[in-house]
C-alpha cells in the first residue's frame, strides 16, 4: 500500500516536470511588470563613422582564437558569419555613397535562441550578453531554427561540434574590459554601455545631425529590442537589413501554445475518464442487444 | 528441508526453460531469402556504415545541412512526419478504451506496437541528428531544464509516451512469456496508460508544429500560421488512421496465417469505419486551412510557383482523398478506401516537408536537398523498424488471438 502511494507520487512528480513548462515564462513576465526593468548592457554601432577597415573582424578572430579573415568587404557581395567567424563587415552602395555595416549576434532582450534551447545552453546573462554554454548544449540546432537573425552557427564537420556566435566578449566584460571590437575600433564607431544610455546617445546624434542620420535606431524595437543597435545614414532596407521583422519579441510567438499546456494536462485526463465512464454502460447495452 | 530443495530445483528448471525459450525465439523464423530481406539488408548495412561515419567525422560529412537550413530530412521526415503517422495509436486507443468502440479492439495491439516502434526509431533518429548527443541527459535528469522551450516539451513527451505505449502493449509480452501474474497487473494499468498517452499525444502532436512558430519569417507565408499546432494535431488523426488502414492491409496479406477467420472478416468493417473518421477529420482540416488562407489574405501569393505547389497540396492531397474517402465509404468500396489512404499519406509527407524543408527558407539563394546518404540512413531506420515489427508479430500474440488463459483472465 505504502509503496503504491510512493509510486503514485513519483508519477505525479514526472507529470509535474512537464507541468512546469510555461511557468518560467510567466515568472519572467511578472518580473518585468513589477520590478524595475533589468538594465542590460549593449553596443551602439554608428555606421556613419565606420570606415570598413575590418579591425573588429581581425581582433575578434584573435580574441577567440579563430582563423584570420581572408576576404574583404565588396559592394554587391554579402559576406556572412559562419562557424569560424563571428562578425563580418559588408559594404553597400547607397545614394550617399558606400556604407559599411557590421553584423554579429544582436543580443536580443528576449532572445528566441534562449527560449528555444531546451538545456539552457543558450543563456541571457543578467548583464545582457547572450552566451552559449558547451557543457549543456546537446547540439539540436533549434536555436538556429528560431533565431530571426540567423546568428548561431554550427560546426558541421566536427565530431564534437560547437554552436558559435558572438558573446559580446563576456569573459572580458567580467574582467572589467570592453568587448575587443569596441576597444579596438579606430573610428570609434562602436560604443559600449547601458542600453538606455545608448538609446539616449543615439537619439542625441540623430537630433543634432538630422542630415547625417536616417531617423531610426535599428534594434530599439525590432524583435522586442536588441542589445546591439545601429545608426545609419539611409533607410535600413537599403543596407541588407531584414525588413519583415516583428517588433514583438519572438518567444511571444510560442507563448500561447506553452501557456495552454498545463490546462490541457488537467482537463484532458478528467474529460477522458468522464467519457470512458459515460460510454461504458452504453457498451454493455449494445452487447446485450447484439446477443 | 527436502521439500524446499525440490522447490528451488523446480525454480531453477523454470528459469532455465525461460532462457532456452528466449534463445530459441531469437532465431529467425521462416524463409530468409525473401525479396524484402534481399533489398533491405544491404541498405541497413550501408546505413550502419554511414552512421559510424557521421559520429566519426561530424554531421556535415553525411548530410547536406547548411548554416541556413539546420534541420533537414532527418527531422522533417523521420521525426515530424513519422510521428504524425504514429498518431494512429492514440486515436485507436481513444476509440476503444475511452469511447468503448469494441469493434476496433482487434487492431489495438498491432497499432500500439506500430506506434511504439515508430517512436523508438524516429526519436532514435533524433539522436543521430544531435551534434552533442551525450548531453541529451541534461534536459532529462533535470540539471538544466529549458522549460520555456517547445522542444523540451516535445522531447519529454516522446519519452513519457513511449513508456505509456510500452505499458499498453506489455500484456502481449506477458502472454508471450506466459507470465500470468504480470499480465494481470499490467493489463490493470492499461486505462491509466491510455489516458496519459492521449493527453501526451495531443500536446506533442501539436507541439511538433509549435516548434516552428518562432521561425515566422523563414517559412513560406502560405504554410506559416499561428494555427500550425492545431493543424498538426488534426492532421495527425487522419494521418495515423490512414497509416492504420494501409499497414493493416499489408499485414493481413503478409501475416495472413496469424489472423483468425473472424478477424479477417471483421477487418473490412474496421477499414470501412475508419474511412468515415478520416473523412471527418480531413474535413475539419480543410476547413481550418480555408479559414487560415482567407484570414491571412494570401490571394496575391497564389500566382507563383509556391502558390501552385500550395494548390497542388490542397486540391490533390487533401480535397481529392477527402472526396475519395466519402465516396468509397458510401459505396463500401474497400479498395478505394485503401487508395485514399495512400494519397492521404503522401499528402501528409508533402505537408510536413513543405513546412520543415521545402518552404523553410524558400527564398534563400541556395536550397537544401537531402544527400543520398541522408536518404539511405532514413530507409535503414525504416527497414530496421519493419524487421523488429516482423520479429515481434511472429512471436507475440499481436495479430494472433491471445492464449486461452489470458482470455479467461480478462473476463
Ligand atoms: S540575434 Fe539570434 S542568437 Fe543573437 S540573441 Fe537574438 S536570437 Fe539569440
Ligand atoms: S543546439 Fe545547443 S544551444 Fe542550440 S538550442 Fe540546441 S541545446 Fe540549445
Residue from A117, A137, A138, A160 whose CB has the most chain B CBs within 10 Å, to mutate: A138
Residue B135 Cα to ligand 2 midpoint, Å, equals 10
Residue A149 lies in a domain: yes
Q: A 246-265 residues with CB below 8 A of B?
A: 246, 250-251, 253-254, 256-258, 261, 264-265
The tens digit of pLDDT for each residue in B329-365 reads: 999 999 999 999 999 999 999 999 999 999 999 888 7
Q: What is the pLDDT of residue B322?
A: 96
Residue A288 lies in a domain: no
Cα separation of B253 and B247, whole Å? 10
Q: Which residues pair with A218 in a beta bridge?
A: A230
Residue B90 Cα to ligand 2 midpoint, Å, equals 30
Residue A258 lies in a domain: no
Q: Which residues pair with A123 in a beta bridge?
A: A131
Q: CB contact, 8 Å: A156 with chain B?
A: yes
Residues A152 and A269 in one domain: no
Q: What is the CATH number of the domain that holds A185?
A: 3.30.70.20
Residues A9 and A130 in one domain: no
C-alpha cell at B168: 499498453
Q: Is A20 helix (H, G, I), strand (E, B) or coil?
A: coil
Q: Which residue, chain included where needed, has cell 515568472?
A: A27
Residues A45 and A18 in one domain: no
Domain span at residue A132 reads 41-248
DSSP label at residue B94: I
Cβ contact B72:B357 at 8 Å:
yes
Residues A164 and A26 in one domain: no
Residue A290 lies in a domain: no
**C-alpha B403: how far from its chain's center?**
28
Beta carbons within 8 Å of A70's beta carbon, 6+ residues apart: none
Nearest to B162 by CA among B140, B182, B130, B134: B140
Residues A163 and A191 in one domain: yes
Question: Considering its fold, how many domains does chain A have in total?
Answer: 2
C-alpha cell at A37: 526593468
C-alpha cell at B400: 494472433
Q: How far apart are the first and last CA of chain B?
A: 40
Atom of ligand 1 nearest to the CA of A227: 5
Residues A77 and A216 in one domain: yes
In terms of CA atoms, which chain A residue is nearest residue B52? A159
Cα separation of B61 and A225, whole Å? 38
Cα separation of A58 and A73, whole Å? 13
Residue A222 lies in a domain: yes
Q: How far apart are the first and last CA of chain A?
A: 40
Residue A256 lies in a domain: no
Q: Evaluate if residue A16 carries a pLDDT over 70.
A: no
Residue A161 lies in a domain: yes
Residues A140 and A278 in one domain: no
Residues A14 and A156 in one domain: no
Cα separation of B387 and B384, whole Å? 5
Please give the C-alpha separations between residue B215 and each of A144, A218, B211, B378, in angstroms, as whole numbers: 10, 20, 8, 25
Q: What is the pLDDT of residue B407?
A: 77
Residues A17 and A131 in one domain: no
pTM of the model: 0.88
Kindly list the structural domains of chain B, giving each domain's residue range(s) and its CATH number in brackets, ordered by start.
Answer: 70-400 (1.20.1630.10)
**Average pLDDT of chain B to the nearest whole number:** 89
- Report whether residue A224 contacts ligand 1, using a CB cutoff of 6 Å: no
Q: Quote the percentage of chain A above a pLDDT of 70.
A: 84
Q: CB contact, 8 Å: B312 with chain A?
A: no
Residues A69 and A10 in one domain: no
Residues A238 and A105 in one domain: yes
Dihedral sign for Cα atoms in the order A79, A81, A84, A87: positive
Contact B218 A145 (CB under 8 A): yes
**Helix H or strand E segment including A45:** strand A41-46
The tens digit of pLDDT for each residue in B391-408 reads: 999 889 888 888 888 877
Residues A57 and A165 in one domain: yes
Q: How many CB atoms lie within 10 A of CB A240?
A: 12
Cβ contact A221:A227 at 8 Å:
no
Q: How many CB atoms lie within 10 A of CB B47?
A: 22
Q: What is the pLDDT of residue B11?
A: 63
Q: Evaluate if residue B282 carries a pLDDT over 80.
A: yes
Cβ contact B168:B93 at 8 Å:
yes
Contact B67 A276 (CB under 8 A): no
User: Residue B123 — pLDDT band, cuts 50, 70, 90?
Assistant: confident
Amino acid at each position: 500500500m505504502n509503496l503504491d502511494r510512493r509510486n503514485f507520487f513519483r508519477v505525479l512528480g514526472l507529470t509535474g516536470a512537464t507541468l512546469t513548462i510555461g511557468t518560467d515564462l510567466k515568472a519572467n513576465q511578472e518580473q518585468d511588470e513589477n520590478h524595475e526593468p533589468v538594465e542590460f548592457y549593449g553596443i551602439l554601432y554608428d555606421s556613419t563613422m565606420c570606415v570598413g577597415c575590418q579591425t573588429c573582424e581581425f581582433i575578434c578572430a584573435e580574441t577567440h582564437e579563430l582563423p584570420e579573415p581572408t576576404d574583404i568587404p565588396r559592394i554587391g557581395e554579402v559576406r556572412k558569419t559562419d562557424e569560424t567567424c563571428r562578425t563580418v563587415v559588408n559594404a553597400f552602395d547607397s545614394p550617399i555613397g558606400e556604407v559599411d555595416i557590421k553584423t554579429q549576434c544582436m543580443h536580443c532582450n528576449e532572445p528566441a535562441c534562449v527560449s528555444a534551447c531546451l538545456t539552457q545552453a543558450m543563456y541571457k546573462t543578467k548583464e545582457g550578453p547572450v552566451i552559449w554554454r558547451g557543457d549543456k548544449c546537446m547540439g539540436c540546432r533549434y536555436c538556429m531554427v528560431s533565431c530571426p537573425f540567423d546568428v548561431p552557427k554550427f560546426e558541421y564537420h566536427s565530431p564534437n561540434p560547437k554552436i558559435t556566435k558572438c558573446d559580446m566578449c563576456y569573459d572580458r566584460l567580467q574582467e572589467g574590459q570592453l568587448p575587443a571590437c569596441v576597444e579596438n575600433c579606430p573610428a570609434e564607431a562602436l560604443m559600449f554601455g547601458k542600453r538606455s544610455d545608448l538609446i539616449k546617445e543615439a537619439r542625441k546624434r540623430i537630433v543634432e545631425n538630422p542630415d547625417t542620420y536616417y531617423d531610426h535606431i535599428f534594434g530599439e524595437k525590432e524583435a522586442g529590442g536588441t542589445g546591439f543597435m545601429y545608426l545609419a545614414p539611409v533607410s535600413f532596407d537599403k543596407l541588407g537589413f531584414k525588413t519583415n521583422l516583428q517588433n514583438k519579441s519572438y518567444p511571444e510567438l510560442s507563448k500561447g501554445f506553452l501557456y495552454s499546456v498545463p490546462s490541457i494536462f488537467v482537463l484532458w485526463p478528467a474529460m477522458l475518464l468522464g467519457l470512458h465512464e459515460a460510454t461504458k454502460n452504453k457498451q454493455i447495452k449494445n452487447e446485450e442487444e447484439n446477443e | 528441508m527436502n521439500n524446499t530443495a525440490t522447490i528451488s530445483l523446480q525454480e531453477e528448471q523454470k528459469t532455465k526453460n525461460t532462457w532456452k525459450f528466449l534463445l530459441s525465439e531469437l532465431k529467425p523464423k521462416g524463409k530468409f531469402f525473401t525479396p524484402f530481406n534481399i533489398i533491405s539488408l544491404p541498405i541497413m548495412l550501408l546505413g550502419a556504415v554511414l552512421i559510424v561515419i557521421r559520429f566519426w567525422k561530424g554531421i556535415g560529412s553525411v548530410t547536406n545541412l547548411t548554416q541556413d537550413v539546420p534541420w533537414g530530412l532527418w527531422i522533417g521526415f523521420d521525426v515530424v512526419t513519422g510521428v504524425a503517422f504514429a498518431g494512429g495509436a492514440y486515436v485507436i486507443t481513444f476509440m476503444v478504451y475511452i469511447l468503448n468502440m469494441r469493434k476496433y479492439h482487434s487492431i489495438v495491439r498491432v497499432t500500439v506496437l506500430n506506434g511504439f516502434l515508430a517512436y523508438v526509431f524516429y526519436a532514435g533518429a533524433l539522436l543521430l541528428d544531435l551534434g552533442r548527443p551525450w548531453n541529451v541527459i541534461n534536459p532529462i535528469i533535470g540539471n538544466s531544464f529549458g522549460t520555456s522551450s517547445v522542444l523540451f516539451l516535445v522531447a519529454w513527451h516522446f519519452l513519457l509516451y513511449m513508456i505509456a505505449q510500452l505499458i499498453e502493449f506489455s500484456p502481449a509480452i506477458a502472454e508471450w512469456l506466459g507470465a500470468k501474474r504480470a499480465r494481470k497487473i499490467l493489463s490493470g494499468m492499461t486505462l491509466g496508460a491510455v489516458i496519459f498517452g492521449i493527453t501526451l499525444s495531443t500536446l506533442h502532436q501539436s507541439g511538433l508544429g509549435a516548434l516552428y512558430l518562432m521561425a515566422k519569417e523563414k517559412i513560406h507565408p502560405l504554410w506559416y500560421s499561428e494555427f500550425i499546432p492545431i493543424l498538426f494535431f488534426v492532421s495527425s488523426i487522419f494521418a495515423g488512421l490512414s497509416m492504420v488502414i494501409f499497414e493493416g492491409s499489408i499485414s493481413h496479406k503478409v501475416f495472413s496465417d496469424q489472423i483468425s477467420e473472424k478477424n479477417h472478416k471483421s477487418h473490412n468493417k474496421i477499414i470501412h469505419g475508419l474511412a468515415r473518421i478520416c473523412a471527418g477529420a480531413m474535413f475539419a482540416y480543410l476547413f481550418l486551412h480555408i479559414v487560415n488562407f482567407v484570414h491571412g489574405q494570401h490571394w496575391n501569393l497564389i500566382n507563383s510557383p509556391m502558390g501552385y505547389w500550395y494548390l497542388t497540396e490542397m486540391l490533390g492531397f487533401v480535397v481529392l482523398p477527402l472526396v475519395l474517402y466519402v465516396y468509397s465509404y458510401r459505396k463500401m468500396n474497400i479498395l478505394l478506401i485503401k487508395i485514399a489512404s495512400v494519397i492521404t499519406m503522401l499528402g501528409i509527407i508533402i505537408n510536413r516537408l513543405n513546412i520543415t524543408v521545402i518552404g523553410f527558407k524558400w527564398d534563400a539563394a541556395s536550397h537544401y536537398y537531402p544527400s543520398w546518404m541522408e536518404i539511405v540512413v532514413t530507409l535503414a531506420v525504416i527497414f530496421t523498424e519493419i524487421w523488429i515489427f516482423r520479429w515481434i508479430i511472429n512471436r507475440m500474440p499481436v495479430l494472433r488471438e491471445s492464449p486461452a488463459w489470458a482470455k479467461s483472465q480478462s473476463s
